[in-house]
Amino acid sequence: MKFAGIVEYDGSDFCGWQRQSHAPSVQETVERAISLVANHEVGIACAGRTDTGVHALGQVMHFETNAQRDMRSWLLGINSNLPRSVVIRSISQMPDDFHARFSALSRTYRYIISNEKVRPALLANRAAWERVTLDETRMQAAANTLVGKHDFTSFRALACQAKSPIREITRLTIHRQGSLVILDVTANGFLHHMVRNLAGVLMSIGKNENPPQWTKEVLTKKDRSLAGVTAPPQGLYFLSVQYDPKYKI
């Protein structure tokens, strides 16, 4: 049987989603908890890997097992074996053709910036901090250039292993909520560090260091060295995944 679960986690204490030999990962933590409930070793696949310090509100993973448990037992049993920083929000049985990664139609990330003169304490690990006042209107004007299907070579990490840099952004919005500037982006897929590089470019424009049309120049040149600083990981959240409605996730 195949099951899917929605995972929420604070990534501050993890080396990222993917299992690593040198540090604790979200994947290893969740696999261990599921295995204890299933009474056998279980491996999981996720909708999209996250890096060290990156958080998630709606990560999706799936696993397969022959263990017989009802949905309530799976949910309560797994969560009772997870640390406070990780929780399974829901779990459901899925058809055999479902795959957390390959069945995804699009993914949405959120980047949160604490935009105030003094660094935040409670948000220290949950938001990026920028002391210079950001102009979210300029940032949105620049962001509009990035919507659509493009070669995002300038916005991928040098170590990115994706075969193609072509991605399609369907939504990229920036809005202010008090001292927080929030960036939401939806695309059919993301390159390594793509959202953090987008955020870095847009923050530069918001600080008046570059004009709004700079995004088009960076995109066209296809040169990562032109795109400036990668924004820090603690502001990034894996927000949600969109699937065919038949999966009812």
Instruction: Quote the DSSP letter at residue 209.
Output: S
Report the alpha-carbon distance of residue 6 to residue 69 in Å, rounded: 18
Is 51 considered catalytic here? yes
Which amino acid belongs to residue 57?
Answer: L
22 DSSP assignment: S
Q: Active-site residue among 13, 51, 135, 184?
A: 51
Domains, the chain, with CATH or none = 2-103 (3.30.70.580), 106-241 (3.30.70.660)
Provide the whole-model pTM: 0.95
* Whether 247 contacts 103, CB under 8 Å: yes
Mean pLDDT of the chain: 96
The model's pLDDT over 115-137, given as tens digits with 9 standing for 90+, comes to: 999 999 999 999 999 999 999 99
Alpha-carbon distance 128 to 90, whole Å?
29
- Which two three-digit tokens encode residue 183? 């960036």
pLDDT in single tens digits along all 249 residues of the chain: 999 999 999 999 999 999 998 899 999 999 999 999 999 999 999 999 999 999 999 999 999 999 999 999 999 999 999 999 999 999 999 999 999 999 999 999 999 999 999 999 999 999 999 999 999 999 999 999 999 999 999 999 888 888 999 999 999 999 999 999 999 999 999 999 999 999 999 999 999 999 999 999 999 999 888 777 899 999 999 999 999 999 999
One-letter amino acid identity for 103?
A: S
Please tell me the predicted confidence (pLDDT) of residue 219: 93
For residue range 153-180, what is the model confidence (pLDDT) as tens digits?
Answer: 999 988 888 899 999 999 999 999 999 9
Number of neighbours of residue 22 by Cβ within 10 angstroms: 6
